[in-house]
Amino acid sequence: MMIPQIAELQYKARLAKRKALWGGVAGALGALAVIFFAIAAWVLLTDLFGTVPTALGFGAFFLILALGAKAFASRPPRVVPKQTAQQLGTTGTPTPVGTTASMINALMLGVTLGRALRK
């Protein structure tokens, strides 16, 4: 009865675990590559311009990156226009989880499924 749904859920869990694992590996290797490129750029720019100008350039570069990340993080989330939400059949707002109504709905769904399995 519920075996196909459980198998699908297990498959999705394995897929999510695999994506998370390889995403973490890719992120770590990407960070390592950025570190090596930064070291190589430091060595090259130190030979060309000297230590102090290179340090100031690196500091300015990372400050600009930090300010850009801060600006990106402080942007409000996108809101789906009402016309598009109506076409999609959603209100654009997520359903609250953990509220009393959702818990009662889950309980009633469980009771209904339990009764259906006993028949």
Tell me the percentage of the chain whose pLDDT exceeds 90.
Answer: 49
Q: Which residues contact 3 (CB under 8 A, 6 or more apart)?
A: none
Provide the pLDDT confidence category of residue 90 given band limits of 50, 70 and 90: low
Number of helical H runs and strand E runs in the chain: 4, 0
Q: Which of these, 64, 67, 61, 69, lies nearest to 37 by C-alpha position?
A: 61
Q: In angstroms, rounded to a whole number, what is the distance separating the alpha carbons of residues 112 and 11?
A: 25
pLDDT above 80 (res 57): yes
pLDDT mean over 12-36: 94
Give the chain's mean pLDDT.
Answer: 86
